[in-house]
Structure 1
Amino acid sequence: MSHTPSPRVPGQETATTRTLSADLERTGFYPRLVADVVDDALDGAATLAHLVHLETHFERAEVRRHVTVLALTDELLVITHVDEAPLEADPQRMTAQVSTESVPLAQIATVVLSYVFAEPAAYEPGDPVHEVTLAIAWSGGQRLDILPASCGDPNCDADHGYTGTIAQEDIVLRISAEADGPEAVSTAKHFARLLRAANAASASGAAPGPGTPADGLPRPRLAGFGGRVRGHGGRQ
């Protein structure tokens, strides 16, 4: 007996069925420019998963935006970051500052996913995550946070030196359900699982192939930026 799929309800698509270019369009942050830059960085490689994160911050009285795009391929994690800044000669006009980096999966040292839950005392299985922080380290770079040390006595004015923590991280993305939406949090969790599985497979020497990855999740149906395919030998 043949099965007729149910019609898709508009707006029902998820991050695992949307294309990378569609997610860039949703940000509204120079989508054609960012798409072309990411496409060039991918150099013809197909994406297995992607994560697009737009951040907005205030600089004096002006609003500044920047987007980070993570694209996972069979062999690489491709990171693209685009900032906007005013043109020095004419502050009324904007410039886009772009950086790209391609990291071999076997070179990734850690993938850390931190969770924040609201009202933990009332937690029930399946309750949504309030926010996640995705930290990925690959180059051995470390961040040092130092604070004055204390003995716990509020009346003590002795010098106890300093205390601090060292965190190994090359990129950190904070995704909040309140600021970015619950779907963005779920997308970040899904991407982290796929990246961990691909990193583990690469480190063990197993070539990632088609089918279900090691985390048991279905391979997302993701696409690149249309029909432009360029191999490493195609550049002039």
Structure 2
Amino acid sequence: MSHSPTTEERSLDEDLNRAGFYPVMVADVVHDALDGREPLSHLVHLETHFDRNEVHRHITVLVLTDDMLVITHVDDQQLDEEGEQVVAQISTESVPVSQIRSVVLSYIYAQPQDYKPSDQARELTLAIAWSGGQRLDMGPAGCADPQCEADHGYTGNIVQEDIVLRVSSEADGAQAVQNAKAFARALRKVNTAPPALPRMVDPVQPRRLGTRLSRGHHQR
């Protein structure tokens, strides 16, 4: 009996086709990584980088199920100058939702002095942490005196993150920013949901002695 795709599965495939980055291959890898789980929400993020005369693209696909966050990342690489030999490098990671430590959203709004509730964020950065890995950003420390030449040591920030996606309305479109926000909301909902109660096992009923055994006892 063939599986009928859900609305979310169809939406995922449509977004992969819209991204246009080896959509058939990426869809096969993503669905295989789901191991039969049904997606609740997803986020498809395509990035393009220019390096001299070369164009590099890579795609990150986040798929949320009721118990897992499945992350798929795909890069392509040219093996020759003509671009006839291309390989795709793919990695997948499945993270139990219960292990996610934090979901951080950072927003950038233009002209905040004129903000209205209908205004949309210009940029959104989604950071998800689960392994306890940390990034340390350091730089020389200073003081308020511009003439001071003393050594004030170093200062820095420790940021906990395992994956960071930056979505911009200028580069990705306004809808992409809203999609990232909706995915983060769905992830927070699943991540903070109370754990399911364990199934109660019916207590073992004591066995009743049969009538024949009782009669045998009285006959002794």
Range of TM-score over shorter length: 0.7 to 0.9
Matched residue, 2:74: 82
Give the match for residue 192 of structure 2: 200
TM-score computed with the length of structure 1 as normaliser: 0.77
C-alpha distance in structure 1 between counterparts of 2:70 and 2:113, whole Å: 39
2:145 aligned with 1:191: no
Q: For 1:86 and 1:43, how far apart are their aligned partners in 2?
A: 31
Do 2:9 and 2:39's aligned partners in 1 also have CA atoms closer than 8 Å? no
- Between stretches 148-157 and 77-86, larger displacement belongs to 148-157
The counterpart of 1:49, out of the listed 26, 38, 41, is: 41
Report how far residue 157 of structure 1 moved: 2.1
Larger C-alpha radius of gyration, 1 or 2? Answer: 2
Cα RMSD (Å) of the superposition? Answer: 1.7
Deviations 1:165-198 (A, max 9, x none): 0000000000011110010001111110010000
Secondary structure at 1:84 match in 2: strand
1:137 and 2:129 equivalent?
A: yes
On the 8 A contact 2:44/2:61 being kept in 1, the answer is yes
**What residue ranges of structure 2 are gaps of 5+ in the alignment?**
1-6, 198-220
Give the letter aligned to residue 34 of structure 2. L
Tell me whether 1:128 sits opposite 2:120 in the alignment.
yes
Aligned partner (choices 157, 168, 175) of residue 165 of structure 1: 157
Q: Which amino acid aligns with 1:166?
A: I
Percent identity over paired residues: 64
Alignment of 1:89-168 (within 5 A): 90-91=80-81, 92=83, 93-168=85-160
Count of paired positions: 189
**Contiguous gaps of at least 5 residues in structure 1:** 1-14, 208-236
- Normalized per residue, the structure richer in helix is 2
| CA-CA distance at 1:151 after TM superposition | 1.0
The structure, 1 or 2, with the larger RCO (C-alpha pairs under 8 Å, 6+ apart) is 1
TM score, norm. by length of structure 2: 0.82
Q: What code does the residue aligned with 1:58 have?
A: F
| Contact 2:8–2:40 (Cα < 8 Å) also in 1 | no
Partner of 2:202: none
